[in-house]
Structure 1
Amino acid sequence: MLFTAFLLGLAAFSIYRVIIQAFYTVKPNERAVLTSLGRAERLDGQLVADLELTEEERARYRFPRLRVVGPGGPYFKWPWQDVHKVDVATQALDLTWDPTKRQTTIEAVTKDNLTTGVNGQIRFRVSEANLYPFIFGVADPLQHVMGYFIAVLRERIANFADPKGQRLLAGADASEAQGDVVGPDLSEGVSINDLRKNLPLLNEYMEQQCLTTGHRYGIELEAALITQIDPPPEVDRALSAINSTRNQVAADISTARADAEQQITMSKRAVDIAMNKAQAEVAPLKELAETLVHIKAQGGDAALRAYVRNMRIPLLKRARRIVQTTGTAS
């Protein structure tokens, strides 16, 4: 009786293990890899290649291409085979995610030696073309990639400089060499302000630096969304005071420049008006001189004296007193 029960139990286990568990399905957002006695099924002699890696890194990250089972099913597997399913859909994760500790922000030190908090998200997905390192290469690939991303981010923040500010400083050096006066707006900015103004540049840099994560760890970074850079409250208050002072200085400089340009414009107009008046007073004299020259050329001295005498008549009528002098004998 006991032997019969044992045979029935063994038969039931065999049916469950060989027939029921021999079939599996793969969801649309999943990919599967089969292992036979712990060894993954591979494509013959094919390795994953990435031109972004250096020669040393290529030798270190030599991962084989695996045979990937796509969505669908039911598929059949033997009892000595195991199925490893991976979600390949795009996922979002906060930068503060860390399974080993709780944290509300990521701390980083700027080039001004100021500790600031960084928050944001990253979007990633598992690389379907390189599942070997994700499943078998690293114990916790997501935690590993997050650590790599945070390390690169902190290094970038510690050395970040505003590209526009660098160009302005280069222009300031050239102006000083030529003896020109450089305004306060060409001074180097505070690193936290530069980071806040250039978040798209910082995100773009992080995406470029993480292009090789798909080959190293089997996780492809699709986007870096660093949204907040918040210094400590006392530093933030100091930065607010600095920004207010700079804005006031910039406003005063703009007002002074506008007043100077207005004064220059008014001076130019006054000079133009004075020149026009002088030209208006000189024009009749020039015309009279040309007339006298023409009369003398046509009629001689007699005609010129007659013209002068005739021109005196209207003047004599307007005169109140006439003084006549006589010549003395020599």
Structure 2
Amino acid sequence: MILYGIIAGVCAYLLFFVSAQCAFRVDEGALAALTRFGAARRDSQGKILLFSPGLHFKLPWDHLRLAPVREQSLHLAGQIGGTTAIASDGTVVHFDGVLRHAADPARVEQYLFGCDDPTEHLANLFMCLVRNEIANYAVGDGQGQPDEVAWSQLRRDSRQLSDQLEQRYTQRLAQRYGVVFSGVDLKDILPPDALVDALNAVMNARIQAQADYALAEADSARRVMAAQHNVEVARRKAQAAATEIKELARALAQLQRDGILSAYVDRRRVEILSQAKHLLVGSAA
């Protein structure tokens, strides 16, 4: 009985394993094809057998290949070689790009079996094409300044460059690789590293100059305020001295009118002489 139970368990496991290997699901926005021992499965007319979205079954030794027929966005920034290209004037510019594409339902066989990895192949191919267009893009075509650098014109004409890439290559590559291209978008075309360093240096110098100017202006304002304060203090002291002199003159004039000015002067002379430690006596010549 135990042996029968073990055999039944093994059979159930094998049945479950085979069922799991035989069933496969195709999501919306994709088509599937099967290969058997390396060869694509075909119908009676010799066309590749395609499976629409839904649940399907296959033999355990069949291999599933999926082709996305809805639009995919392929970013060129993460490809081999980075996102740099040599412009026509010899400068190295940085860029980022997005390739919008999908597998052509009428050419799924070309998409799946034309190369080992269609996505990587298209990314590397378009990276080379973009670098070629950037290198051969003419500077000074009459639209920009005669001395305009390539980076500046490439950044300004990025839309035109994207349209140029789309017109030149997408139709030809679509027929060759079984892909429908929705568009090519070049963006974030950045200046060379040397120019970035120079711009950063200019920006830092400008910030430093503005800071120095602000400090000098604040120091000058402080000095002007201090000078104005000192002038005001001196004016008030002079005004107080003038007031004191006027009051003294008024008092002396009153003593003169009262006829006691001489007596006041004599008394003050005696007070001063009594407080003096040294007395210089001279005779008139």
- Report the CA distance shift for 1:76/1:143 in structure 2 as closer, same or farther (over 3 A): closer
Residue 114 and residue 20 in structure 1: after superposition, are their counterparts in 2 closer, same or farther (change >3 A)?
A: closer
TM-score, normalised to structure 2, is 0.58
Q: What's 1:96 paired with?
A: 77
Specify which of 60, 71, 86 is matched with residue 79 of structure 1: 60
2:130 is aligned to 153
Q: Superposition pairs for residues 112-151 of structure 1, below 5 Å?
A: 112-151=89-128
* Larger CA Rg, structure 1 vs 2: 2
Q: 1:187 to 1:84 in 2, by over 3 A?
A: closer
Gapped runs of 5+ residues in structure 1?
47-64, 169-184, 240-330
CA offset at residue 166 of structure 1?
3.4
1:2-21 superposed matches below 5 A: 4-5=4-5, 7-21=7-21
Closer, same or farther in 2 for the Cα pair 1:204/1:37, shift >3 Å? same
Measure the CA separation in 2 of the matches of 1:167 and 1:150.
Answer: 28
In structure 2, the CA distance between the partners of 1:20 and 1:157, relative to structure 1 (3 Å rule), is closer
Q: Equivalent residue for 1:166?
A: 141
Cα distance 1:45–1:202, how it changes in 2: closer, same or farther (>3 A)?
Answer: farther
Q: How does 1:1-330 map to 2 (within 5 A)?
A: 4-5=4-5, 7-42=7-42, 66-73=48-55, 75-98=56-79, 103=82, 106-161=83-138, 165-166=140-141, 187=146, 189-208=148-167, 209-235=169-195
Q: RMSD across aligned C-alpha pairs, in angstroms?
A: 3.3
Measured in 1, the distance between the counterparts of 2:7 and 2:153 equals 76
Cα distance 1:202–1:35, how it changes in 2: closer, same or farther (>3 A)? same
Deviation at 1:205, TM superposition (A): 1.7
Q: Secondary structure at the match of 1:129?
A: helix
Q: CA separation of 1:231/1:37 partners in 2, compared to 1, >3 Å: closer, same or farther?
A: same
Query: Retained in 2: the 8 A contact 1:149–1:210?
Result: no
Secondary structure in 1 aligned to 2:89?
coil
- 1:221 deviates by 2.9
Equivalent-residue separation in structure 2 for 1:38 and 1:221 (angstroms): 28
What's the secondary structure of 1:66's corresponding residue? coil
SS in structure 2 of the partner of residue 34 of structure 1: strand
Superposed structure 1 runs of 4+ greater than 6 Å apart: none
Aligned amino acid, residue 37 of structure 1: F
Structure 2 residue ranges without an equivalent (≥5): 200-285
- Output one character per residue of 1:228-263: Cα deviation in whole Å (capped at 9) or x when no partner: 221225436879xxxxxxxxxxxxxxxxxxxxxxxx
Give the C-alpha shift of residue 33 in structure 1: 0.9
1:161–1:194: 8 Å Cα contact kept in structure 2? Answer: no
Question: How far apart, CA to CA, are the structure 2 residues paired with 1:10 and 1:137?
Answer: 42
Give SS of 1:211's match: helix
Percent of aligned pairs with the same residue? 27
Distance (Å, rounded) in 2 between the aligned partners of 1:238 and 1:9: 74
Mark the CA change 1:24 to 1:140 in structure 2 (over 3 Å): closer, same or farther: closer
User: Relative to 1, partners in 2 of residues 1:206 and 1:81: Cα closer, same or farther, differing over 3 Å?
Assistant: same
Say how many residue pairs are matched: 199
Question: Given the two structures, how large is their TM-score scaled by the length of structure 1?
Answer: 0.51
Aligned-pair CA distance for 1:19: 4.1
Q: CA deviation at 1:79?
A: 3.4
Question: C-alpha offsets along residues 79-136 of structure 1, whole Å, 9 cap, x if unaligned?
Answer: 34333333332122322123x68x5xx1111111111111232222233333334434
